[in-house]
Structure 1
């Protein structure tokens, strides 16, 4: 019996870590002469449970129009100010990049314009204006007096190559609330036992969609996402005859914090795009159910108090009349 008990203790680490097994790993020599490195999974598309919903909405949006609604993204900053001495900034600084990816999943239902980092385009337009930019071919261009054209190695520029956007999305990551709820239990008898802990935190974002020509804010949205995790541990620390046994095993799992930020941004972007296009998400669903169907109160197409505005392609350069774009409080289309 004693031997069986000791054998059972040896199995504790393997049983406790069964749910924390990493992907299959192997050691490979990548470059001749290098030491082997550990490799696991291959690079894959960074999809979230909401990616399928965004793609579905993009198809639905394209079916209702021609994809000419043009949207850009401004700066989506981290306003939480949360930082660690060991890890640095705790919240991703790439909120705008995540928003662009969310919009990209809706193409060809809409058109995306770059406004977040235009440094390369600005440099080339500057070269173009100075007649320094070419493409390796000769071009016809008027001479300095505006008379007959001449063949030149630089590309002539007459302006108007940069197209305007209809709307842009801007905002920030505004909340990180630690330990919204936590709990656990611990039991040890003669220094043999275990413990477990669960905890929940959340992140929040605030975004808005703005008319590029009028600077009118058409809609705002605040989205929060809870992040949960758990930790379990089993340990033995005691003497068996003349042997001292010190066995520890455990597992720890937490929903990725930055994934929660990405999903909140995806949900917010989907909400805002529906407002300006007038097309609801319909029956588009996440690839992984996030809540029970009877708990999901009101899809974005059923928002109360917010109506979609006119199609983006019809936005004039002058400020439109309020009645042309729909007022808050009208029913959804």
Structure 2
């Protein structure tokens, strides 16, 4: 930060003109009149879409490979409500933790090769069933309507429910600041500071057998999250001007990614129990396995051989990106 109080009158005018010019330069990319493409401004940033794994995603994929190689029938899993029970919310920013933990759990089960049945949002299916019951859906067959067939919806063997139960702020924090400079007020002074702090999230999940409602597995996990802050400053007089410059940075491990990690670890342990995995080293037992499940999830191949499915491309940052994929660039 530059202290304008020490500037002369002409110096302040020059500085103000420089700031005004910089401001106009910064706003040159924004126009009150839409351009030929119909936009006022071009959005910044060009990072490609990438996979969103955790340290446990590879283990989930290996668990799915292990089940297929050993002949274990993947159970049908339904995921219910995994709610936020922490009650933590910001005054302006809303909830502190994700409200989509159920969706994260569905993705985790898919990575492990489980057969998923939808129970989280059945609104569309229920509406389609209502229309079919009133003979309103035709399915492209002239003078015919969709039939309601008894037993057409597969049931679940187990369902997962639970909640995010902990978000603890400032479990431990530490910081240090230092200021250095001699007694001469015109000599350079410097300061440096650093802070570390730790919070944690926790959740409790249970796996329930659907027919008997017997709870067959319960897991409670927590994960600590670290954050840091570093700052450096310099204060000096030069040519009759005062310069006070400071830089710094903050970084915190993402809270929502930590919740995904805890969920994936819990799902991994539950699936290991259902698959009777001998140890946590199933990846070494399934080296070279081919399957449709990957760190992005799972899907049913649409007629193509298993070896030709597009699972690997889903994990490539350059796939389908018009600036990174050579095949797409060749079409432009």
Q: Is the contact between residue 235 and residue 249 of structure 1 (CA under 8 Å) also seen in structure 2? A: yes
Residue of 102, 106, 110 corresponding to 2:112: 106
Say yes or no: does 1:32 pair with 2:37: yes
Q: What are the residue-to-residue correspondences of 1:237-256 with 2, within 5 Å?
A: 237-240=235-238, 242-256=240-254
Q: Deviations over 1:214-246 (max 9, x none)?
A: 000001000101101111000123434522111
Q: Does 1:121 align with 2:125?
A: yes
**Match among 157, 164, 170 for residue 161 of structure 2:** 170
Give the structure, 1 or 2, with the largest relative contact order (CA under 8 Å, sep 6 or more): 2
Instruction: Give a deviation string over 1:174-217, Cα, whole Å, max 9, x none.
Output: 00011111111100124521100011110000000000110000
- Alpha-carbon contact 1:74-1:169 (below 8 Å) kept: yes
Q: Deviations over 1:63-119 (max 9, x none)?
A: 222544111100000000000012110000000000000011112xx2111110011
Flag structure 2 segments of 5+ consecutive residues without an equivalent: 1-28, 182-188, 284-332
Q: Distance in 2 between matches of 1:114 and 1:234?
A: 53
C-alpha distance after superposition, 1:110-129 (max 9, x if no partner): 21111100111111111122
Aligned positions of 1:179-194 closer than 5 A: 179-190=170-181, 191-194=189-192
Take 2:74 and 2:145, find their aligned partners in 1: how far apart are those partners? 32
Q: CA RMSD in A?
A: 2.1
SS of the residue 1:37 aligns to = coil
TM-score, L = length of structure 2: 0.69
TM-fit CA distance, 1:281: 5.1
**Which residue does the alignment assign to 1:97?**
103
**1:157 aligned to 124, 144, 148, which one?**
148
Structure 2 match to 1:301 = none
* Local SS of the residue matching 1:266: helix
Distance 2:219 2:167 in 1: 17
Corresponding residue of 1:205? 203
Listed as ranges, the gaps of 5+ residues in structure 1 are 1-26, 139-151, 286-333
Q: Matched residue of 2:137: which SS? A: coil
TM-score, with length taken from structure 1: 0.69
Q: For residues 101 and 279 of structure 1, what CA distance do their matches in structure 2 show?
A: 20
